[in-house]
Amino acid sequence: MILYETKTAPLEIFPIRHHSFVPHVHSALEVVICTEGTLKTTCGRRTEILHPGDAMVAFSHELHAYHETSEGGGVMLIVSPEKLSRFAARLSARKYENFRLARDTQLVRLGLDSLNAFNNACSSDILTGYLYLILGTILQDLPYQPITTPLADKDTFTKILEYLSTHYTEPLSLESVAERFCVNHSHLSRAFAAKLSCGYLDYLHQLRVGHAKKLLSETQNKVSDIAFECGFADQRSFNRVFKKWTGLTPRAYRQSTEQTDNE
Tell whether 193 is covered by a domain: yes
DSSP secondary structure string for all residues of 96-107: E-SEE----HHH
pLDDT of residue 263: 52
Q: Count of alpha carbons within 13 Å of 250, Cβ hemisphere only? A: 28
Contact, 76 vs 16, CB < 8 A?
yes
pLDDT of residue 3: 42
Tell whether 219 is covered by a domain: yes
Residues 60 and 165 in one domain: no
Residues 103 and 191 in one domain: no
CATH of the domain at 250: 1.10.10.60
What parts of the chain have a pLDDT lower than 70? 1-9, 149-153, 259-263
User: What predicted TM-score, i.e. pTM, was given to this entire model?
Assistant: 0.75
Closest by alpha carbon to 101, among 138, 152, 46? 138
Residues 182 and 86 in one domain: no
Residues 137 and 192 in one domain: no
Tell whether 1 is covered by a domain: no
Range of the domain at 255: 156-262
Q: 16-59 pLDDT, tens per residue?
A: 887 778 888 888 899 999 999 999 999 988 999 999 999 999 99
Residues 83 and 180 in one domain: no
